[in-house]
């Protein structure tokens, strides 16, 4: 089924969840690797191009996901989930949305700081709306990196929680996000 029900995640929610998980992991690895390259490395120019296009794709998926989440029933937590687990899981999920939004937005402002737009896979260019002073762009760049590290930490906690449900509690938490 495409849509969520009160007890299950539909195909659209599951696909968006795993696609974004894959994209965000790739973007994080790419972001770390990019900063270690020197100017003469062949990837010095191409990797940032991919990072920006994929980053924009994540932003589009984020919008889709929020719209989908608001227009679909949210599956209820399993009866076996403890109250503190539910609270923590919901807090982390909200933080995910906030962090991804901020990381994408700061990425846009850093990339367009000098007045040049961002290319989206040779399909179109998103223009710059504001040129930034170098100091402001550097500050945003640091915030972008710190937020990405915090997001990665939350992802690890979130994944460990899912694995704990699967292997220790032996409940359906992970399975219902897969099938
Ligand atoms: C960048 C990586 C990830 C992000 C941003 C993310 C985000 C989210 C969000 C926002 C939800 C809430 C449901 C929704 O809105 O559709 C969710 C649910 C879930 N995620 Fe992830 N996730 C990520 C990676 C993972 C990984 C690696 C695993 C497993 C190892 C996982 C397992 C789950 C499970 C089992 C649920 C359902 C929880 C429930 O039933 O309430 N996620 N995830």
* Ligand 1 midpoint to CA 162 (Å): 8
pLDDT category, 116, cuts 50, 70, 90?
very high
Protein residue with its CA nearest to atom 24 in ligand 1? 21
Query: Per-residue pLDDT tens for 148-175?
Result: 999 999 999 999 999 999 999 999 999 9
Q: What is the mean pLDDT of residues 105-127?
A: 96
Q: Return the pLDDT at 118.
A: 96
pLDDT of 89 reads 95
Report the share of the chain in percent with pLDDT over 70: 100
Predicted confidence (pLDDT) per residue in 53-91, tens digit: 999 999 999 999 999 999 999 999 999 999 999 999 999
- Ligand 1 centroid distance, CA of 26 (Å): 16
* pLDDT value, residue 159: 97
Regarding the beta carbon of 17 and ligand 1, being less than 6 Å apart is answered: yes
Ligand 1 atom closest to the CA of 17, numbered from 1: 16
Mean confidence (pLDDT) of the chain: 96
Quick check: CB of 21 below 6 Å from ligand 1? yes
**How far, in Å, from the CA of 38 to the mean position of ligand 1?**
35
- What pLDDT is attached to residue 144? 98
3-class secondary structure per residue, the chain: CCCCCCCCCCHHHHHHHHHHHHHHHHHHHHHHHHCCCCCCCCHHHHHHHHHHHHHHHHHHHHHHHHHHHHCCCCCCCCCCCCHHHHHHHHHHHHHHHHHHHHHHHHHHHHHCCCCCCEEECCCEEECCCCCCCHHHHHHHHHHHHHHHHHHHHHHHHHHHHHHHHHHCCCCCCCHHHHC
pLDDT of residue 30: 97
Q: 93 pLDDT band (50/70/90 cuts)?
A: very high
Residue nearest to atom 26 of ligand 1 (CA): 159
- Residue 65 pLDDT: 97
Q: Is the CB of 174 under 6 A from ligand 1?
A: yes
Q: Does the beta carbon of 175 sit less than 6 angstroms from any atom of ligand 1?
A: no
Q: Tell me: the pLDDT tens digits for 14-24?
A: 999 999 999 99
Residue bearing the CA closest to ligand 1, atom 39: 173
Give the global pTM. 0.94
Nearest CA to ligand 1 atom 4: 21
């Amino acid at each position: 089924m495409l849509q969520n029900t009160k007890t299950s995640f539909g195909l659209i929610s599951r696909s968006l969840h795993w696609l974004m998980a894959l994209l965000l992991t790739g973007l994080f690895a790419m972001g770390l690797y990019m900063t270690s390259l020197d100017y003469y490395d062949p990837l010095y120019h191409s990797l940032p191009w991919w990072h920006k296009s994929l980053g924009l794709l994540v932003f589009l998926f984020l919008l889709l996901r929020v719209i989908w989440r608001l227009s679909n029933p949210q599956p209820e937590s399993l009866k076996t989930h403890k109250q503190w687990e539910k609270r923590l899981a919901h807090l982390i999920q909200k933080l995910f949305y906030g962090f991804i939004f901020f990381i994408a937005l700061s990425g846009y402002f850093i990339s367009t700081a000098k007045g040049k737009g961002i290319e989206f896979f040779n399909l179109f260019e998103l223009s710059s709306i504001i040129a930034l002073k170098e100091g402001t762009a550097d500050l945003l760049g640091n915030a972008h990196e710190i937020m990405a590290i915090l997001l990665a930490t939350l992802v690890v906690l979130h994944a460990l929680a899912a694995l704990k449900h699967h292997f220790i509690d032996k409940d359906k938490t992970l399975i219902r996000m897969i099938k």
